[in-house]
Amino acid sequence: MRGLYQHLKRSVGLSGRQAGGQRFVADENGVLLRNRDDILQRWARFFSTVLNTKSPTLNPDIIERLTHRPATRDTQRLGDVAELKEVARATKCFKNWKESGHDSLPAELLKIDDNDPFVLGHLHTILVKVWNGGDIPREWKDATIKVQYKKGDRSNCNNYGGISLLSHVGKVLIKIITNRLSAFCEANILPEEQCGFRPGRSTVDMLAAWGMLYADDADVVLRSAGGLARMMTIIVDVFGESGLTVSEKKTETLLIRAKDKPTTTSQPPPPPPLTIEAAGQKYAQTTESRYLGGLVNEHGDLTREIPFRLKIHLL
């Protein structure tokens, strides 16, 4: 029996442990490929059709508006040379024990600097040269594709998934650009009520907020008065389309103040009144509100909530 296996291995050009690691795949016509070069070419053709999709066509009007948009400090900041602290922030986002790309540089190597930024300093110098030159090295853009079997016929390429391994150094540049664009969109483009793909503002939070609207009362929490007014306008309009109304008398606004830093001077002046108007309604302001059994006040502390829970009434 052993001789039979050895004869089969020699007949297909394999020997030893190579037979266990070789994956024979079929071409587009279903013909099984055994030659290594033919197999690699088949994978190249397969992933070229899967990954190389047509780029979306931008609206010419949008391009024209963006081109003639007046420059601001925020837009100029997008083109500034990357700083060392941005490089450090980008490298800290990488996970350990991840396979590297062409350069074989692990993510752990880029994060070993604690006090003396030796590696980050050299990395920053390289990124500055690339940034100023405008020419990204080919090694940073090329990806090593690893195939991973899912289920079904092992000779069918459609039953495999591809994992693209990129250079970690190239990922640093991508992360810096991503962080800048995200911060710019947060401050200049995205509205207050926009959720999803934003830090701390997931769609799960929004779904939970809308789910509470089916109760007798609900809380709507936003970071700005303008955002709260827009959100309340949307809520009133949506409820109106369904034959429901928002009680103007029972709806109140609460401004939670940021904790002031201790100073030796006099107390800071109180914040201006919070006036919210939405869809013809004007809501009164309160200093504390009870929701689902919990007491929320303008200072965001528990000075009155804890005694209430302990059934101790303050005089």
Give me the residues paired with residue 145 across strands. 164
| For the chain, domain boundaries | 22-189, 222-258+272-313
**pLDDT tens, 122-165?**
999 999 999 999 899 998 988 888 888 888 898 999 999 888 89
H/E stretch holding 122: helix 118-133
Beta strand 32-33 with 25-26: parallel, antiparallel or unpaired?
Answer: antiparallel
Q: What are phi and psi of 284, to 5 degrees?
A: -75, 155
Angle at CA 64, nearest 5°, toward 58 and 70? 125
Torsion angle, alpha carbons of 6, 9, 12, 16, to 10:
-130
- Say whether pTM exceeds 0.95: no
Amino acid of residue 173: L
Interacting residues of 306 by C-beta distance below 8 A, sequence separation 6+ = none
Q: How far apart are CA 32 and CA 272, in angstroms?
A: 76
What is the DSSP-derived secondary structure letter of residue 38? H
Query: pLDDT at residue 312 above 50?
Result: yes
Mean pLDDT, to the nearest integer, of 169-182? 92
Region 43-49: mean pLDDT is 89
DSSP 8-class letter at 58 = P
Q: CA-based angle 55:61:66, to the nearest 5? A: 85
